[in-house]
Amino acid sequence: MPSDTKEQHLKKTPLYEKHVALGAKMTDFNGWAMPLQYGGILAEHLAVRENCGVFDVSHMGEIAVSGDGAEQFLQTLLTHDIRRLAKARWIYSPMCNPDGGTVDDVIVYRQGDGFLVCVNAGNTDKDFAWMRLNAPSGVIVTDLSAHFSQIAVQGPKTEEILAKTDTSEAMLIAKTGYTGERGVEIYLSPEDAPSLWDQLIEAGATPCGLGARDTLRTEAGLPLYGHELSKDISPLEAGLTRFISFDKGPFIGRDELFLQSHDENRRRLVGLTMGGRSIPRPGYAVLCGGAPCGSVTSGGPSPTLGAGIAMALVTKDADEYEVLIRGKAEPASRTELPFYRRRI
Amino acid sequence: MLYSQDHEWINVKGDVGTVGITDHAQSQLGDIVFCDIEPAGTVLSAGDTAGVVESVKAASDIYSPVSGEILKVNEDPADDPALLNTDPVANWLYTIRLNDPSELDGLMDEEAYDLYCRG
């Protein structure tokens, strides 16, 4: 049975008091006291798929990159082509080690003459150190995480909800998210966050915790650092090939990733749907023809599909696998990712 | 009714006990989406795994509060695991023939269990 979290040593977002007042069950997420759930994960999941949910994602890190050569620096640091920002409001990109392992996966925005890089909460310090280490003189890397809060509004009714709220204080509103639904992520100063949070809920958005965030992103086939990506898992293995630009010029990890791209025996991330009622969980062994071939990276019940689903990193390319659940090999069919795609 | 430290309840009549999970357990677990209990005839020692319930987030073993043989398994929670959230007492998991009724002395009454949950 889960035990209550000792919250006093954890970092708190500006919305911590709001979560407690809403009766959230809090959890330790990478050193942050974050809401796991309010009313219940299934209800929150459904609210995002059918109406609108609001998430506190203030724990995410924000690192500014500016100065002469900032664009070229990011071009070397990230696997994706930063020049796409000429046309796009934002780009998603892995950031690799020289050996092709993943330091983090990030979103980059253009901010004035410079860039804002949104990084995973648990990786903020590591990313900041990595970026500073690699930055040439003239490029300024600043950890602005303490100056930003983030609220994600996700679901088909996002526009209706936003129309009833005042977002004029927002520093950045991006049409991004981590749920597979339309929606926005709003960057704003910590002192403005509680008021917007209240307005969004008043307007009808359902407060949602990390539990629903995880089931939603798993259905959407989106990677979570520490699961589908890590220093030992390359973005190529995780199926993120479209975010690796081999033709843009040199970047950290390129040589190793290029070799991997020609290795047909490399590990690959597959989607699995369970045949029976059983539920795959992270770490469970995956078998192919009875022989171990990898493990589940993310898994759980899919509220939308009504079946157990998993992403798994495997060495065998097949249509049918088994997942070892409490000693039993349970059949699992390979499913093209994402498991869930929203209606346009 | 008696309670274990692992948040199971047991109701004993004669030498047969009915076992389920407590309201505190279901509340801590959140939405329960899977329930599987070992089949009738399984012989368990106190503390053995009698089955598993899974919430959206995690799998939790059910530990038998007493030793004995499983007599009957309630199929309702297996068919509709959410029943364990709505009424974990009506929706018992299994009945067991007790080997050693003295094991009941190691369990808590309602008052002690309430204190234990608040602890």
Last-in-domain residue among A111, A144, A177: A144
Domain of residue B63, CATH code = 2.40.50.100
- For residue B59, which residues of chain A lie inside 8 Å, CB to CB? 279, 281
Q: Tell whether ipTM is more than 0.95.
A: no
Q: Is residue A109 part of a domain?
A: yes
Q: In this model, does residue A4 exceed pLDDT 90?
A: no
Q: Are residues A52 and A156 in the same domain?
A: yes
Give the DSSP H/E element, type plus range, for residue B76: helix B76-79
The total number of structural domains that make up chain A:
3
Q: In chain B, whose CA is at the least distance from the CA of A302?
A: B56
* Contact yes or no for A1 and B59 at CB 8 A: no
What is the average pLDDT score of chain B? 97
DSSP A74: H
Mean pLDDT of A21-26: 97
Domain of residue A105, CATH code = 3.30.70.1400
Q: Is residue A97 part of a domain?
A: yes
- For residue A211, which residues of chain B lie inside 8 Å, CB to CB? 30, 56-57
Query: Touching check for A281 and chain B: CB below 8 Å?
Result: yes
For A228-266, the pLDDT digits (tens) are: 999 999 999 999 999 999 999 999 999 999 999 999 999
Q: What token pair was written down for A95? A: 């950031």
Q: Is residue B107 part of a domain?
A: no
Q: Are residues A43 and A69 in the same domain?
A: no
CB contact burial A141-175 (16+ within 10 A = b; e otherwise): bbbebeebbbbbbbbbbbeebbeebebeebebbbe
Q: Is residue A179 part of a domain?
A: yes
Q: Is residue B43 part of a domain?
A: yes
Query: Touching check for A300 and chain B: CB below 8 Å?
Result: yes
Q: Is residue A253 part of a domain?
A: no
The total number of structural domains that make up chain B:
1
Q: Are residues A53 and A194 in the same domain?
A: yes
Q: Is residue A319 part of a domain?
A: yes
Domain span at residue A166 reads: 16-58+148-216
Domain of residue A211, CATH code = 3.30.1360.120
Helices marked H in chain A — which ranges? 16-21, 41-50, 70-77, 124-134, 158-163, 193-202, 210-219, 254-261
* CB nearest to B28's CB, from A1, A214, A301: A1
Q: Are residues A44 and A159 in the same domain?
A: yes
Query: Touching check for A218 and chain B: CB below 8 Å?
Result: no
Q: Are residues A140 and A65 in the same domain?
A: yes
For A284-334, the pLDDT digits (tens) are: 999 999 999 999 999 999 999 999 999 999 999 999 999 999 999 999 999
- For residue A303, which residues of chain B lie inside 8 Å, CB to CB? 56
Neighbour-count burial of A179, counting CB atoms closer than 10 A to its CB (0-12 exposed, 13-18 middle, 19+ buried): buried
